[in-house]
Structure 1
Amino acid sequence: MRSVAVVAFDGISPFHLSVPTLVLGRSGSGLDHGELPYTVRVCADTPGTLSTAAGFDITVRDGVDTVADADLIVFPGWQRDLALSPALHEAVHVAHARGARLVGLCLGSWAIAATGLVDGREINTHWAAASDLAAAFPRVRVRADSLWTDLGDVITSAGVAAALDCCLHIVRGDLGARAATDLARALVTAPHRGGSQAQFIPIAVPGEDAADPIEHAMVWARTHLDTAIDLDTWSRRAHMSRRTFTRRFRDRTGTSPQQWLLQQRTDRARLLLESTDDTVDRIAAETGFGSAVSLRHHFHRVLGTSPAAHRAQFRGVILSS
């Protein structure tokens, strides 16, 4: 069994608190879908009654001594002006030195940064808080373009739904893809989402008079993934110079046009691998990679697996259900 300490605080969001207790501890699901080897305990600096952001109170029985003894320490959120208490700071350092992993979900990354254990390293957080987090902790490299960042000993995620993705990622790493997929099915959520926070979602094409030229250019690119899209042609769709388009696109998405386009192509390839019997060569052509070799290279770089392995894993789960 792996012991998990989930750190609560006065004013916590009950949704964020429920994610690790539900995914790892199976609390409150009402479903019988097997046991996971995690023992989850919610703790706080001062055990007792805590208020929540939803207007009701919760009772926490355990103190920070739970953190010092835990194998996995989860901060399911945090308040930007809330300092780590000396006792909590010491307990986290003791546990980390012993080999415990630290997890910061959404603004829980603030608590992770405050420990000093990620100075000079890279963490993730909700895109809307990334610039403030970077300013508050200049020694930390902050990402806002991915659902989670896993450093081995420290795992941090983007906000809200990405906390579910991150906890499923932990289960996948600890117990394998099958366990994570079975759990995701019970939770009625996707078993794996990787890459950018701006996930591929089919959306209606706006009219030519759309007020946001970058959004219009993004939609145009999504509907032309099977063609070569060079930056000059793409910027003309937004009626901008190449330089202005690149700057505005990064302001809008937090990433470069080329990187965003690669993510869209990869996500579309992943969708086709899961939902069709098309060959890898055909999918490469339909998603603009051009060749199976190029698709395999980029697919592995973005998702950490091969197209064939991804399809086999997905089909294996579906066929055995």
Structure 2
Amino acid sequence: MRIVVLAYDHISPFMLSTPLAVFGEPFLASGHRIDVCSNEPRLKTTGGLTIEASYPLEAAREADVVILPGWRNVDEPLSSDIIAEVQMAGERGAIVVGLCLGAFGLAEAGLLHGRRATTHWAQAKTFALRYPTVDVDAGALFIDEGQILTSAGVASGLDCCLHLLARMSGLGEANRVARHLVLAPQRSGQQPQVLERPTIGSSSDRRVTEILEGLRADPTRTPSLDELAERAGMSRRSLSRHIRSRIGGSLGQWLKQVRLSRAQEMLTSGVHGMEDVALRSGFPDAHALRSAFRAELGLTPTQWMARQKVG
């Protein structure tokens, strides 16, 4: 598939590099092509860098995926030529992604009317007031509406792009790229944007990390909270507090997501038999696996598999 990133003068180098890191690194095995398009061949970026765009903005009209990584300022009108390219991409059925303040561009182009969307939490109120027909979720890391995706600020753009890569090339490929980027592959779109975390490097933080990584490595285990608390040398209440501050929710819900992710990875890698997939990913049976898919994704496993390849 051809992926295009829309660049503009005074773009953030980090925001520009986000989709390039996920889709354009040499270790990516999926064969996707990614290009940077701009109406100016030489662009100044924040931080004093100057970059050259390889293609004009009109080259985006042949792309399967069009990504708008942020915008300079919510109080500055978006470039009319960028809005036009985003509109045309939406009209022809391309996947359109607005990272961070890029959601403002998608809304300005009319692509978010009646849809759910997110943006950086600090600008979510402005976004909602400016575009009242958009269902704004100020808490989500990213939102996938099928053809249209939006993400919250900065680092959550990586989560959104990895999620899209999983749609395009399978969860196994997305997890492999995440490991190369030294990123956790488990951040779902509904994880809160802002979490309070224990002090990095504290002994309690390391113990909680060991527990979570152990459960991630083998999600078929079902230790009780009391057993985990004893292993961590904490009270049950203290462990629950540390886990919640670390993952933004309950251990049970997190473990369900881990098991679901393991099942997705097995399905995309070619493992057959729902009963076998269920047991090897930590679900008691195939019925529980199907129920988890419907509850979390609104799809059966078969329907989810059919949507893993786009274009």
Name the TM tier (shorter chain): 0.5 to 0.7
Whether 1:18 aligns to 2:13 is no
Cross-structure match for 1:164: 158
* Higher mean C-alpha deviation, range 32-41 or range 113-122: 32-41
Cross-structure match for 1:3: 2
Cross-structure match for 1:223: 240
Question: What TM-score, normalized to structure 2?
Answer: 0.66
**Correspondences of 1:154-303 after superposition (within 5 Å):** 154-194=148-188, 195-198=190-193, 203=198, 223=240, 265-267=252-254, 269-270=256-257, 301-302=295-296
Choose between structure 1 and 2 for higher RCO, CA contacts under 8 A separated by at least 6 residues.
2
Give me the whole-angstrom Cα distance separating, in 2, the residues matched to 1:143 and 1:51. 32
Deviations, residues 87-126 of structure 1 (Å, cap 9, x unaligned): 3333322222221011011111111111012112111112
Cross-structure match for 2:49: 56
Question: Are the structure 2 counterparts of residues 280 and 60 from structure 1 closer, same or farther at C-alpha, using a change threshold of 3 Å?
Answer: closer
Question: Are the structure 2 counterparts of residues 186 and 132 from structure 1 closer, same or farther at C-alpha, using a change threshold of 3 Å?
Answer: same
**8 Å Cα contact 1:106/1:125 also seen in 2:** yes
Question: Are the structure 2 counterparts of residues 129 and 295 from structure 1 closer, same or farther at C-alpha, using a change threshold of 3 Å?
Answer: farther
Query: How far is the alpha carbon of 1:144 from its aligned partner?
Result: 1.6
Question: Are the structure 2 counterparts of residues 273 and 22 from structure 1 closer, same or farther at C-alpha, using a change threshold of 3 Å?
Answer: closer
**8 Å Cα contact 1:200/1:268 also seen in 2:** no
Calculate the aligned-residue CA RMSD, in Å: 3.7
**8 Å Cα contact 1:3/1:72 also seen in 2:** yes
Cross-structure match for 2:269: none
Cross-structure match for 1:150: 144
Give me the whole-angstrom Cα distance separating, in 1, the residues matched to 2:96 and 2:261. 32
**8 Å Cα contact 2:37/2:56 also seen in 1:** yes
Question: What TM-score, normalized to structure 1?
Answer: 0.64
Cross-structure match for 1:138: 132
**Correspondences of 1:37-52 after superposition (within 5 Å):** 37-44=31-38, 46-52=39-45
**8 Å Cα contact 1:16/1:76 also seen in 2:** yes
Question: Are the structure 2 counterparts of residues 119 and 34 from structure 1 closer, same or farther at C-alpha, using a change threshold of 3 Å?
Answer: closer
| Identity between Structure 1 and Structure 2 (%) | 34
Unaligned runs of 5+ in 2: 200-235, 263-279, 301-311
Structure exhibiting the larger radius of gyration computed from Cα positions: 1
Cross-structure match for 2:214: none
Cross-structure match for 1:317: none
2:30 maps to which of 29, 36, 44: 36
Question: Are the structure 2 counterparts of residues 109 and 273 from structure 1 closer, same or farther at C-alpha, using a change threshold of 3 Å?
Answer: closer
Query: How far is the alpha carbon of 1:201 from its aligned partner?
Result: 7.5
Give me the whole-angstrom Cα distance separating, in 1, the residues matched to 2:92 and 2:85. 11
Count the aligned residue pairs. 242
Query: How far is the alpha carbon of 1:8 from its aligned partner?
Result: 1.1
Give me the whole-angstrom Cα distance separating, in 1, the residues matched to 2:97 and 2:35. 14
Give me the whole-angstrom Cα distance separating, in 2, the residues matched to 1:221 and 1:146. 26
Give me the whole-angstrom Cα distance separating, in 1, the residues matched to 2:128 and 2:147. 20
1:102 maps to which of 90, 93, 96: 96
**8 Å Cα contact 1:13/1:53 also seen in 2:** yes
Query: How far is the alpha carbon of 1:85 from its aligned partner?
Result: 3.6
Give me the whole-angstrom Cα distance separating, in 2, the residues matched to 1:35 and 1:297. 32
Unaligned runs of 5+ in 1: 27-31, 205-218, 227-252, 254-259, 282-292, 307-321
**8 Å Cα contact 1:12/1:51 also seen in 2:** yes
Aligned amino acid, residue 67 of structure 2: V
* Higher mean C-alpha deviation, range 172-181 or range 188-197: 188-197
Q: Secondary structure at the match of 1:223?
A: helix
**Correspondences of 1:63-78 after superposition (within 5 Å):** 63-78=56-71
Give me the whole-angstrom Cα distance separating, in 2, the residues matched to 1:198 and 1:87. 31
* Higher mean C-alpha deviation, range 108-117 or range 194-203: 194-203
Q: Secondary structure at the match of 2:149?
A: strand
